[in-house]
């Protein structure tokens, strides 16, 4: 095993463990931190595979901006621990069903036509070309996503404001 493949497998284990901890964590703040670790591992994996632009975008946009927004929303609404405990068997059944379905679909796609594997061509794009492509071709999708993030932020501020009024005045709506 080369050093390159050793880093690849180490990053794969880190990403898998961090994602599993994200899913199983009861504390939402810890879940966000584990997800940030998973995103940073994914960014390192992109860099290792020769895509530094995607690595930078993953680290800046996902691990930076979106996770900070999620953390701020969690802290603003002050989510308490869940009162009702869902049985572990129900959660495991759902997860196993999703994993089994995904695995079977991937195997079906891989082995449906085994002689049709073509090597992928490497493509190099500058950040300027990537930005021009995204904002010329998919500008509406970018605006819709930014609007949805704004709505989530305003909703979190509204929820935290109404909860603080209840605490101050003792009035429930």
pLDDT in tens, 29-59: 899 999 999 999 999 999 988 888 889 889 9
Domain spans in the chain, listed from the N-terminal domain onward = 1-79, 126-173
Instruction: Work out the percent of the chain whose per-residue pLDDT is above 90.
Output: 19
Q: What is the pLDDT of residues 139-166, one digit of tens each?
A: 899 899 889 988 988 887 887 776 656 5
Tens digits of residue pLDDT in 56-98: 889 998 888 888 888 888 887 776 655 555 566 666 787 788 8
Q: What is the CATH number of domain 1-79?
A: 1.20.120.1200
Q: Whole-model pTM?
A: 0.61
* DSSP character string of the chain: --HHHHHHHHHHHHHHHHHHHHHH-SSHHHHHHHHHHHHHHHHHHHHHTT-HHHHHHIIIIIIIIIHHHHHHHHHHHTPPPPSSPPPHHHHHHHHHHHHHHHHHHHHHHHHSSGGG--PPPP----HHHHHHHHHHHSHHHHHHHHHHHHHHHHHHHHHHHHHHHHHHH----
């Amino acid at each position: 095993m080369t050093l390159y493949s050793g880093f690849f497998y180490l990053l794969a284990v880190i990403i898998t463990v961090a994602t599993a901890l994200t899913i199983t964590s009861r504390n939402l703040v810890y879940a966000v931190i584990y997800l940030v670790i998973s995103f940073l591992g994914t960014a390192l994996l992109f860099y290792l595979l020769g895509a530094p632009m995607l690595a930078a975008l993953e680290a800046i946009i996902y691990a930076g901006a979106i996770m900070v927004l999620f953390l701020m929303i969690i802290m603003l609404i002050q989510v308490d621990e869940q009162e009702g405990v869902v049985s572990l068997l129900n959660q495991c059944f759902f997860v196993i069903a999703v994993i089994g379905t995904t695995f079977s679909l991937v195997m079906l796609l891989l082995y449906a036509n085994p002689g049709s594997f073509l090597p992928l061509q490497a493509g190099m794009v500058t950040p300027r070309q990537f930005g021009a492509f995204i904002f010329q071709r998919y500008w509406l999708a970018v605006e819709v996503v930014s609007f949805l993030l704004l709505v989530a932020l305003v909703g979190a501020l509204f929820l935290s404001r109404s909860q603080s009024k209840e605490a101050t005045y003792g009035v429930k709506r």
